A = this chain, B = another copy of it.
Amino acid sequence: MSISTREWQLVRRPHGEPVAEDFRLVSAERPDPADGEVVVQTIAMSVDPYMRGRMSAAKSYAASWELGETMQGGAVGQVVASRSDAVPEGALVLHGLGWRDVAVVPAKHVSVVEPLPGLPLSLYLGVLGMPGLTAYAGLFRLADFREGDAVFVSGAAGAVGSLVGQFARLRGASRVVGSAGTPEKVRWLREELGFSAAFDYHDGKVADLLTAAAPDGIDVFFDNVGGEHLEAAIGAFRTYGRAALCGSISGYNATTAPPGPRNLGFIVGKQLTLRGFIVGSHADLRPEFVGAVSGWLQDGSLVARETVVDGLDSAVDAFRALLSGGNTGKMVVRLAPDPS
Interface residues of A (CB under 8 A from B): 53, 60-61, 226, 230-231, 245-248, 251, 257-278, 281
Contacts and interface: CB of A to CB of B under 8 A. Distances in A.
B271 A272 contact: no
A153 to B, nearest CB: 15
Tallying the copies of this chain within the complex gives 2
A300 to B, nearest CB: 33
Contacts of A230: 264
Nearest to A251: B265
A282 B181 CA distance: 41
A34 to B, nearest CB: 35
Given A257-B262, A259-B259, A262-B258, A278 B273 contact: no
Given A260-B261, A274-B274, A61 B269 contact: yes
B268 A264 contact: no
A275 B239 CA distance: 12
A273 B142 CA distance: 9
A29 to B, nearest CB: 36
A263 B261 CA distance: 11
A260 B257 CA distance: 11
A62 to B, nearest CB: 9
Contacts of A262: 257-260
A276 B281 contact: no
A267 B274 contact: yes
Contacts of A226: 264-265
A272 B275 contact: yes
